[in-house]
């Protein structure tokens, strides 16, 4: 898995999912349901939740990296 599908709730945009690159150091510990910090345009870093994984991106764009895992699950 190379990308994480994250769920965000942005005022004016609503609840949407976006793909983010999983940094190498997170690949073995990242899980569905975890809270993470991700960069989101002018909003800066925002809270998001991991809802899935993928090995490819739809379309032709460059994904930003997940900044940090906020909640570790057992």
C-alpha span between 38 and 34 (Å, rounded):
12
Contact 2, 45 (CB under 8 A): no
**pLDDT (0 to 100) of residue 12:** 86
Contact 6, 38 (CB under 8 A): yes
Residues 6+ apart with CB under 8 A from 43: 10
Contact 51, 8 (CB under 8 A): no
**pLDDT (0 to 100) of residue 48:** 97
pTM over 0.75: yes
Decide: helix, strand or coil at residue 42.
Answer: helix
* Average pLDDT along the chain, 74 residues, taken 10 residues at a time: 94 92 96 97 94 89 94 78
């Amino acid at each position: 898995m190379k990308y994480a599908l994250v769920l965000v709730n942005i005022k004016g945009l609503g609840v949407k999912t976006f793909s983010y690159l999983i940094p190498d150091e997170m690949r073995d510990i990242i899980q569905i349901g975890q809270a993470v910090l991700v960069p989101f345009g002018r909003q800066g870093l925002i809270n998001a939740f991991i809802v899935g994984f993928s090995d490819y991106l739809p379309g032709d764009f460059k994904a930003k990296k997940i900044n940090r895992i906020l909640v570790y699950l057992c």
